[in-house]
Amino acid sequence: MKNGILNLLIFTVLSLLLSCGNSQKKVTDAPASVSLTPNILKDKIKGGWAGQTIGCTFGGPTEFKFKGTMIQEYQQMVWYDDYIKEIFESDPGLYDDVYMDLTFMEVLERVGLDAPADSFAQSFAHDNYKLWHANQAARYNILNGMKPPASGHWMNNPHADDIDFQIEADFAGMMSPGMINTASEICDRTGHIMNYGDGWYGGVFMAAMYATAFVSDDIDYIVDQGLRPVPEKSKFYQAISDVIKWHKQYPGDWKQCWFEFEKKHTSEKGCPEGVFNAFNIDAGVNAAYVVMGLLYGEKDFFKTMDISTRCGQDSDCNPATAAGILGVIIGYEKIPAIWKPAIEKVQDLKFPYSDLTLNQIYDLSYKHATQLIAKNGGEVTHSNISIKVQKPEILRFEQSFEGMYPTKELLVRKDFLDESIKINFNGNGIVVLGNVKSQCGVATSDFVAILNVFIDGELTEQVRMPYDYIVRKYDIFHKYLLKNADHKIEIKWMNPDPDFRITLKSYVVYSDSPGKSFNTGQQSGVK
């Protein structure tokens, strides 16, 4: 009897050790190939694009209004049949989730499926739509002579870990059914234009989930497969794997999963607007909200969008991605009827900032998908499409902001004209936030402020700051990996114009070690 109990205990301990040592969930391997009819493939692609557009619209009113907190149930969400059409007309910038995808699709159609990164970069940099964060920083870099991948690298882009590519990688997954590695390769060419590290992995992860959604309807499996290309030692992998773990631990309580995630994974290092703020546009954080919507939504279209939205932060992008992936899983025909009148009213209208309609997008995405299926060993006939399913390959490891720890932010909110901006700080990096402001109230102008930046008395960089919002520089100046010491920055405006001002909003200081919760040392300041 004692031996039997002892053997049982030994077996239990060994089983626990083995399960702890296997950080990736064991799942059944995908079949070598999957067959779909052309109509089913078209329906899934249509479901993906429609789901993304519906989800973006659904979460639009709460975007970044709930920062570091969830949206409670008593706040009702808005929906009616003319809703998407009205947003198309009144707030087209909401759809940056989609119109960036369309830019990339148009390049693929014009240049070919092997279009180089620079073709994508030049196209979006010279387009006239609104962009923010990593996208806008990359646009400025490209317009001023920098090429990808340097344009998205964290040394050149303070927003490298932001959500940008994550919300525009849908096209790569929808044109790569069952072909995760093909989607990853497309993401490599496009995602490094504006992101690096976790910001890039976010797009890879979403594209991989889209790709898997064509060949499986198992949400757990889709999330697992989507994560497999991401290196385990990355922060992004650790964040999403924790969501998977907490979903198992609290299968009926998405809010508890949300609380556990907030406690462990919401420290911001990159985006200078978020490091000392409740604002968090980090790719890993918002990807976690997508996964919570998918796992806890249980393939219910409304519930999936609702949870991803109620997680807060970038609450239009996250339900857009979750609903897009679910739209591929179930197909357009199975999207509940309540959502369809709104999308069907705009399917023949040109999508904001594009020459394509949604109906044309469905067709173009199907065309690219069948071309890639055939190119990658599959077979396409008029009655059957056979997809050669790919086993995910792990990508190279990248990590942004290594050796950089935010230690303080000083709010300034001061306008400058003739005097220089002078900042004394102690650390190994700084981001100076601000913009060019008009004194005349003009909406448009081709004025460009020229700023010379001196660090410790040496001219380090000449910065061009356009007043034009479309081509603006997102942050005045940044510099990382300086010697960790006292530094002096002077920013001289070389072509002052009385009709404009340089507005210094704030600056964020970094160090080579984490900051202390209480600092009695001398404070840095602006002169």
C-alpha 113/C-alpha 365 separation (Å) is: 12
Domain shared by 361 and 419, yes or no: no
pLDDT for 437: 95
Task: Give the pLDDT band (50/70/90) at residue 26.
Answer: very low
Q: Are both 176 and 103 inside the same structural domain? A: yes
Asked if 325 and 222 touch (Cβ cutoff 8 Å), the reply is yes
Looking at 361, 388, 415, the residue that finishes a domain is: 388
* Position 292 confidence tier, pLDDT thresholds 50, 70, 90: very high
Question: Is residue 378 assigned to a domain?
Answer: yes
Let me know whether 376 and 455 are in one domain: no
pLDDT tens profile 332-366: 999 999 999 999 999 999 999 999 999 999 999 99
Q: Is the pLDDT assigned to residue 398 strictly greater than 90?
A: yes
144 assigned to some structural domain: yes
Q: How many Å apart are CA 416 and CA 439, to the nearest integer?
A: 12
CATH code of the domain covering residue 470:
2.60.120.260
Q: Tens digit of pLDDT for each residue in 184-213?
A: 999 999 999 999 999 999 999 999 999 999
At 507, phi and psi to the nearest 5?
-145, 150
Same-domain pairing of 419 and 379 = no
- Mapping DSSP onto H, E and C, the string for 32-81 reads CEEEECHHHHHHHHHHHHHHHHHHHHHHHHHCCCCCCCCCCCCCCCCCCC
Is 357 in the same domain as 413? no
CA dihedral 118, 113, 331, 168 (to 10 degrees): 0
How high is the pLDDT of residue 5? Answer: 35
pLDDT digits (tens, 9 = 90+) for 135-165: 999 999 999 999 999 999 999 999 999 999 9
Does some domain include residue 23? no
Structural domain includes residue 415: yes
The answer to whether residue 24 scores a pLDDT higher than 70 is no
- The phi and psi torsions of 275 (rounded to 5 degrees) equal -65, -30
Residues 99 and 169 in one domain: yes
pLDDT for the residue numbered 22? 35
Into how many domains does the chain fold?
A: 2
Query: Which domain does 354 fall in, by range?
Result: 36-388
**Are 439 and 290 members of one domain?**
no
Q: Two tokens at 350?
A: 């040109």
Q: What is the model's pLDDT at position 519?
A: 55
- The phi and psi torsions of 374 (rounded to 5 degrees) equal -65, -40
Write the CA distances from 116 to 192, 193, 241, integer angstroms: 12, 11, 33
- The residues that bridge with 452 in the sheet, in sequence order, are 462, 492
Q: Tell the burial category of 236 from Cβ atoms under 10 Å away from its Cβ (0-12, 13-18, 19+).
A: buried
Mean pLDDT of the chain: 93
The answer to whether residue 491 sits within a structural domain is yes
Query: Does residue 422 share a domain with residue 369?
Result: no
361 lies in the same domain as 424: no
Which CATH number do you get for residue 293? Answer: 1.10.4080.10
Question: How much is the pLDDT for 441?
Answer: 82
Q: Are residues 296 and 221 in the same domain?
A: yes
Helix (H, G, I), strand (E, B) or coil at 82: coil
pLDDT tens-digit map of 418-436: 899 999 999 999 999 999 9
235/332 same-domain check:
yes
Q: How many residues does the chain have?
A: 527
**16 within a domain of the structure (yes/no):** no
Classify 340 in phi/psi space as left (phi over 0), alpha (psi -120 to 50) or beta.
alpha
* Domain assignment of residue 395, yes or no: no
Residue 1, pLDDT score:
36
226 & 260 share domain: yes
Percent of the chain with pLDDT over 70: 92
**Does residue 6 surpass a pLDDT of 70?**
no
* Average pLDDT rounded to a whole number, residues 462-472: 97
User: Mean pLDDT across the stretch 94-115?
Assistant: 96
Across 216-235, average pLDDT:
98
Q: How many CA atoms lie within 13 A of 184 on its CB side?
A: 22
**53 falls within a domain:** yes
